[in-house]
Amino acid sequence: MNSTSAPAEDLLVIGKIVSVHGVRGDVKIYSFTDPIENLLSYPRWTLRRGDETRQAELVKGRLQGNILVATLKDVADREVARGYADFEICVPRAELPVLEGDEYYWFQLQGLTVIDQLGQVLGRVDHLLETGANDVLVVKPFPGSLDDRERLLPYIDQCVLRVDLAAGEMHVDWDADF
């Protein structure tokens, strides 16, 4: 077991190894990046499964349907590759590309306090959901929120008015009764 190259709190999960592919030790990967093949832009991974951590180096990879097939350095056997199943693929947040303008990574939005135009605290962004039309913010109540309701808000310009990462706030145009 190798140590990680970055502290655990600085690592971001970008995919998961789900199974083996073929007999030469390739692995199938479910990617959390958009587009899917962006995961292949990161040549060094920290792999996590429970308390176990490993380092891996990507040799090559390709898109196959809606999954990725990858070859890892020093993994040339199906049985060895099978030992990599169920590992999360992590990279340091510092390796992510800098976004421009009003673009944010989902992890940056999680934990923001959501405030409506009346100054009422609706809750905090717990996580986001990907839908066909647009992403959805799952806003959960916390002590100090307007009420105990969980809300689903569309992550669209008409709803999200302003994101202030420094203040930890997201200002929205949303009726508290929805």
* Residue 57: CB atoms within 10 Å: 11
Residue ranges matching CATH 2.40.30.60 in the chain: 8-95
Burial class (CB in 10 A: 0-12, 13-18, 19+), 161: middle
Phi, psi of 148 (to 5 degrees): -100, 25
Along the 178 residues of the chain, how does pLDDT read in single tens digits? 344 455 666 899 999 999 999 999 999 999 999 899 999 999 999 999 999 999 999 999 999 999 999 999 999 999 999 999 999 999 999 999 888 888 899 999 999 999 999 999 999 999 999 888 899 999 999 999 999 999 999 999 999 999 999 999 999 999 998 8
Q: Distance between alpha carbon 113 and the CA centroid of its chain, in Å? A: 19
Q: Which of 42, 48, 93 minimizes the C-alpha distance to 68?
A: 42
Q: What is the pLDDT of residue 4?
A: 42
Give the CATH number of domain 8-95; options: 3.40.50.10420, 3.90.198.10, 2.40.180.10, 2.40.30.60.
2.40.30.60
Asked whether the beta carbons of 116 and 88 are under 8 A apart, the reply is no
Q: What is the DSSP letter of 82?
A: H
- pTM for the full predicted model: 0.77
Q: Class assignment of domain 106-172? A: mainly beta
Locate CATH 2.30.30.240 in the chain. 106-172
